[in-house]
Each structure stands twice: as C-alpha cells, then as structure tokens.
C-alpha cells in the first residue's frame, strides 16, 4: 500500500517534472491529477492511488510549501464535495472517466439542481419530470431554485421524478444535466448580501442521454442520499488551525482595537473562542476517525455546530465594531465566484452566515436526523409514506 514516504517521493517527482514556478496552473493541476495526487484515496487512473485518505495531508503540505497552484476548492465546492463522491460510488466507468478530471482541475464547475419551489426540506416531494423517449433517452421539464453557481456551471447533478405513480421517495431518478443545453435557463436570484450566488433554473424540454443517468431508474433517492451525506460532512481532510476562520478574524480585531473593548464583549468573546476551539477539536477528532476508517456520527453534527458558531461570531463582530458595524462594504449586485468568509467585512459575514443554517439542509432538519438516526429516537408520525406522489396534497 502507498505510504507517506511513497507519496512524498511521488510529490517530489511531480514538482521536478513540472516546476511550480514555470508551469501554468491548469497544466500543473492536470499533471497532478494524472500522477494520482489529486485525491489520493480515489482509484488509480481517477486522480488517486487507492491510498488512505489521511495521507492527502502529506501531499497538500508538500505542494503548498513548494508554492504549487491549487484547484481553488472553494470555487468548485459542489463538484468536489457532492458530485465527485456520488459519481465515484454510483457512476459508470465512462462517467467517472469523463467527469472527474475536469471537475477536479476546476475546468468544469458543477452545480446541484435539487431544491424546487415546492420541495426544500421535503426534497423527495420534487415535481420536475423526466420522461423517457422512444430511444431510451430523457426529456426533462421543471423548475429548480436556490441553485448556487448555476451561472458558472458546465454540469449539474439533478434529481427528477420518473414515476409519479409511486410513493414520493421511490419514483425519483438521478442525472447529470448539461447546463449548456438550450432548454436550460438560468436567472439570478439576489440575496440579502446584495450578491447573487444562486439562481432559479428553468428546465424546458432538456434532453439528457441515458448515458448521463447515475444509478438505476427509480433509485435516485438512494443516490441522492450519498450526495446529501457528503454535503453535510463536507469538512474535508484539511486540518483547521487554532483560530482558523471567523474566530480568527474576531480575535484579530479584538487585539487590534483596544479602544472598542468592553467587559461584556470580552466575556462573550472568550466563550465563543472556547466554543470555536471545541468545534475545531470535534472536527479534528472526526478527521482522525475517518482516516482510521471508522467514521463516527460526529459528522452529522459538525454542520450544525459551524452554522451556530458562524452566526454567533459574526453577530458579535458587528457589535464589537460599534460605529464601524453600522456600515456595509458593498451592496452592488455581484456574481461571486465563491463565499468569502474572511475577506469581506463583518456586515457581509453576518448576513451570509444566516444561510449556514439553511443551505444543505436546515438546522431543524439536521436535528431531526441526529435525533432519529444517531440517538434512535422514535420517528415523526408520517402521513405520506405509502401514498403515490401524484395523490399527495400540494
């Protein structure tokens, strides 16, 4: 099996063949993928070496030290965090070979066409239809909403209803949708920060070849579970340093602006610092469990913890800044490439963090999941379980 020394050697070879300073970023990333150093736990030929996931850190550290370009994981988070693990698990060999390389290098951005106006938390209620034509391919009609990055995306993971006669979880199929198809219309949806990270997406007669179906017909809900699980656990293998992220910005402000300090703010900052450190350690513990191949249920909780923390810290920060908290850096409608939690000002962070407890499953829904699947508490009474989707009240 590939070990740390082996990976260090391979990384050195990559850097020798493609010196970071005079190789174009894209060429470097392609070479890195082909060397199996993109995500080392992926199979050989697909950017990996079947190595233990924990060893990714070895490669990342060496490459960062050498000043090599990275693939800007924040910009392509949906592809990396959600599409890739799903395609790896359920995709055909052809799909893996076609999609994973440009996904990882960032040449092709992905988005997630899941949510709909009538199906948010109750995602399985979705109404977008996919109907099979004579040749066995699919025609898709419907409307999606809150789609982050749709305006940049080359591809989308999409779930659509293929059998309205079955109960809602069973008549769904999972596809890869070509965002350049003429039937796809993307309209920006402006959000509270002034930006438009996400979109409404209208699908009208979109033709999807059967070769772009992921998993069996009618198995889409099960495939989507892989996506959703990865979405919620998308913590990555990277270690977060102490005072990483928002708490670091808050602490830095505190140190830099003694004139703004009050006793009340001090008490609250210390509590937030402790909470952030405990959350960091919980993530660290999860990472160690994953690297030993024994994933613990902590993963389901991390998103909850980070959402609450981000909201509390950013709220504290606006308050700390006093008059400075009354201003906002920029309300211009922008179409950002990613979410910027440390670069922009406190007001932006405060507003954007409100989305942390909604995106990727609301905190309420995640608490239900923890309660039922981790603690084993009795389920909610269900009225929709055995009813055909078409007969459900809407």
Partner 1 sequence: MTAPMTGGTPRRSAPAPAPDPEPDLLYSDHEEALRDAVRSLLADRSDPATVLARLESDAPYDARLWRSLATDIGGAGLLVPEKLGGQGASAREAAVVLEELGRCVAPVPYLTSAVVAVAALLGCDVAEPEVAALLGALAGGGTVGVLALPLATAPGAAADGPVAGGTGFGSVRAAGDGALVGRVTSVADAAAAETLLVPAQGPDGPALYAVDAAADGVRTDPFIPLDLTRPLGHLTFDGAPGRLLATGGRARAAVERALLTGAGLLASEQLGVAEWCLAETVRHTSERTQFGRPVGSFQALKHRMAALWLDVASARAAARNAADALATESPDTAVAVAVAQAYCAPVAVRAAEECLQLHGGIGMTWEHPAHLFLKRAKSDELALGTPGRHREALADLVALAAP
Ligand X SMILES: Cc1cc2nc3c(=O)[nH]c(=O)nc-3n(C[C@H](O)[C@H](O)[C@H](O)COP(=O)(O)OP(=O)(O)OC[C@H]3O[C@@H](n4cnc5c(N)ncnc54)[C@H](O)[C@@H]3O)c2cc1C
Task: Report, as residue numbers or ranges, the catalytic residues.
Answer: 231
CA distance to 54, 143, 153, 178, 289, per residue, from 225 (Å): 24, 21, 22, 22, 21
- Please give, one letter per residue, the 3-state secondary structure of the chain: CCCHHHHHHHHHHHHHHCCHHHCCHHHHHHHHHHCCCCCCCCCECCCECCCCHHHHHHHHHHHHHCCCCCCCCCCCHHHHHHHHHHHHHHCCHHHHHHHHHHHHHCCCCEEEECCECCECCCHHHCCCEEEECCCCCEEEEEEEEEEECCCCCCEEEEEEECCCCCECCCCEEEEEEECCCCCEEEEEECCCCCCCCEEEEEEEEEEECHHHEECCCCCHHHHHHHHHHHHHHCCCCCCCCCCCCHHHHHHHHHHHCHHHCCHHHHHHHHHHHHHHHHHHHHHHHHHHHHHCCCCCCHHHHHHHHHHHHHHHHHHHHHHHCHHHHHCCCCCCCCCCCCCCCCCCCHHHHHHHHHHHHCCCCCHHHHHHHHHHHHCCCCCCCCCCCCCEHHHCCC
**Which of residues 71, 112, 193, 226 is near partner 1 by CB under 8 A?**
112
Scanning 89-97, 101-109, 213-221, 287-295 for contacts with partner 1 by CB under 8 A, the matching segment is 287-295
Q: Is 20 in the site for ligand X (CB under 6 A)?
A: no
Scanning 31-39, 110-118, 171-179, 370-378 for contacts with ligand X by CB under 6 A, the matching segment is 110-118
Q: Is 67 in the site for partner 1 (CB under 8 A)?
A: no
The nearest distance, CB 113 to partner 1, in angstroms, is: 11
Q: Binding pattern to ligand X, positions 144-163, x when CB under 6 A?
A: --xxx---------------
**Which of residues 166, 240, 351, 388 is near partner 1 by CB under 8 A?**
240
Q: Is 288 in the site for ligand X (CB under 6 A)?
A: no
For ligand X, the closer of residues 39 and 114 by Cβ is: 114
Of 324-383, binders to ligand X (CB under 6 A) are 355, 358-362, 364-365, 368
Scanning 108-116, 170-178, 179-187, 288-296 for contacts with ligand X by CB under 6 A, the matching segment is 108-116
Q: Is 376 in the site for partner 1 (CB under 8 A)?
A: yes
- The site partner of 214 among ligand X, partner 1, none (C-beta below 5 to 8 Å per kind) is none
Q: Is 267 in the site for ligand X (CB under 6 A)?
A: no
- For ligand X (CB under 6 A), the number of binding residues is 19
Q: Is 244 in the site for partner 1 (CB under 8 A)?
A: yes
- The site partner of 193 among ligand X, partner 1, none (C-beta below 5 to 8 Å per kind) is none
Query: Between vectors from CA 121 to CA 117 and to CA 126, what angle results, nearest 5°?
Result: 50
Structure tokens at 269: 């900052």
**Which of residues 297, 327, 331, 391 is near partner 1 by CB under 8 A?**
297
Of 100, 80, 109, the C-alpha closest to 33 is: 100
**Which of residues 12, 26, 278, 322 is near partner 1 by CB under 8 A?**
278
Q: Is 79 in the site for ligand X (CB under 6 A)?
A: no
- The site partner of 120 among partner 1, ligand X, none (C-beta below 5 to 8 Å per kind) is ligand X
- The site partner of 101 among ligand X, partner 1, none (C-beta below 5 to 8 Å per kind) is none
Instruction: Note whether 26 and 71 are within 8 A (CB).
Output: no
Residue with tokens 């080392």: 40
The nearest distance, CB 190 to partner 1, in angstroms, is: 17
Q: Is 293 in the site for partner 1 (CB under 8 A)?
A: no
Q: Binding pattern to partner 1, positions 72-101, x when CB under 8 A?
A: -xx--xx--xx-------------------
For ligand X, the closer of residues 83 and 269 by Cβ is: 83
> What residue ranges bind ligand X (CB under 6 A)?
111-112, 114-115, 120-121, 146-148, 198, 355, 358-362, 364-365, 368
């Amino acid at each position: 099996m590939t070990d740390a020394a082996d990976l260090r050697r391979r990384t050195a070879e990559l850097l020798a063949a493609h010196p970071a300073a005079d190789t174009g970023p894209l060429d470097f990333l392609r070479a890195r993928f082909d060397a199996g150093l993109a995500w080392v736990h992926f199979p050989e030929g697909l950017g990996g070496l079947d190595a233990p996931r924990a060893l990714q850190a070895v490669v990342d550290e060496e490459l960062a030290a050498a000043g090599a370009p990275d693939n800007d994981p924040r910009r392509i988070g949906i592809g990396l965090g959600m599409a890739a693990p799903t395609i790896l698990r359920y995709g055909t060999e052809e799909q893996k070979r076609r999609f994973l390389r440009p996904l990882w290098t960032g040449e092709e951005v992905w988005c997630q066409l899941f949510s709909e106006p009538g199906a948010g938390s109750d995602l399985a209620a979705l109404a977008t239809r996919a109907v099979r034509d004579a040749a066995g391919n699919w025609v898709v009609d419907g409307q999606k909403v809150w789609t982050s990055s749709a305006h940049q995306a080359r591809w989308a993971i999409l779930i659509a209803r293929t059998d309205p006669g079955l109960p809602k979880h069973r008549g769904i199929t999972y596809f890869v949708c070509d965002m350049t198809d003429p039937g796809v219309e993307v309209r920006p949806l402006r959000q509270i920060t002034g930006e438009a990270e996400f979109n409404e997406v209208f699908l009208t007669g979109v033709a999807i070849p059967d070769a772009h179906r992921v998993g069996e017909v009618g198995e889409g809900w099960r495939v989507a579970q892989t996506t959703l699980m990865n979405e919620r656990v998308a913590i990555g293998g990277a270690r977060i340093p102490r005072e990483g992220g928002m708490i670091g910005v808050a602490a830095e402000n505190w140190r830099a602006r003694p004139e703004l300090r009050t006793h009340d703010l001090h008490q609250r900052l210390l509590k937030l610092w402790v909470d952030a450190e405990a959350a960091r350690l919980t993530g660290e513990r999860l990472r160690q469990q994953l690297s030993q191949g024994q994933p613990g249920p902590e993963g389901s909780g991390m998103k909850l913890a980070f959402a609450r923390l981000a909201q509390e810290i950013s709220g504290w920060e606006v308050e700390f800044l006093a008059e400075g908290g009354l201003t906002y850096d920029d309300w211009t409608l922008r179409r950002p490439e990613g979410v910027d939690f440390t670069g922009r000002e406190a007001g932006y962070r405060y507003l954007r963090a409100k989305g942390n407890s909604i995106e990727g499953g609301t905190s309420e829904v995640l608490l239900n999941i923890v309660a039922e699947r981790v603690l084993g508490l009795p389920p909610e009474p269900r009225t929709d379980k055995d009813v055909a989707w078409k007969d459900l009240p809407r």
